Amino acid sequence: YPGHAQKVMNAIWGTGQIMFTKGIVVVDEDIDPHDLNEVLFRLTSNVDPKRDMLFTEGPLDVLDHAADRFAFGSKVGIDATRKNRPWDGYAREWPRDLVFPEEIRAKVARRWKEYGV
């Protein structure tokens, strides 16, 4: 539904000790948030900074000295989800993910040194 990623961000910032989190990246449900390569791919392929970054202020950890005020400062939430739902308002067709067959991936892995990369 519209604003789902922003709702997730605000829920995290409003939950107990998790409120001290300065940066949040929201990905689709089929993306493993622990797979940093996948998350970085989604950050670079699904995010338009103007549309998908939410800047706000709130409580910070007292040990965070990056903020100019004690225990209070800025935070960023990033919507790295696909924008392929009708309510996203995305004018173009969202591209599907490319998936290489396992046999091709295995062949490339075996021959990697030959490629000189």
Is 99 inside any structural domain? no
Quick check: is 106 in a domain? no
Instruction: Let me know if residue 111 belongs to a domain.
Output: no
Residues found in the chain: 117
Residue 116 lies in a domain: no
Task: Establish if 64 belongs to a structural domain.
Answer: yes
Question: Which residues constitute the domain of residue 60?
Answer: 4-92
Question: How high is the pLDDT of residue 76?
Answer: 98
Which residues of the chain are modeled with pLDDT < 70? none
- What pTM, to 2 d.p., does this model score? 0.82
Residue 12: its pLDDT value, please? 96
Assigned domain for 109 exists: no
Return the CATH number at 41. Answer: 3.40.1670.10
79 closest CA partner among 45, 108, 114:
45
Whether 41 is in a domain gets the answer yes
Burial degree of 95 (CB within 10 A; 0-12, 13-18, 19+)? exposed
Give the per-residue pLDDT at 67. Answer: 92
Q: Give residue 37's identity as a one-letter amino acid code.
A: N
Q: What is the pLDDT of residue 95?
A: 86
Sheet containing strand 72-79, edge to edge, reads: 23-26, 72-79, 53-59
Element (H, E) at 73: strand 72-79
Q: Give residue 8's pLDDT.
A: 96
Q: Does residue 11 belong to any structural domain of this protein?
A: yes
The predicted structure's pLDDT at residue 38 = 96
How many domains is the chain built from?
Answer: 1
- Give the Cα separation of 42 and 28 in Å (integer): 9
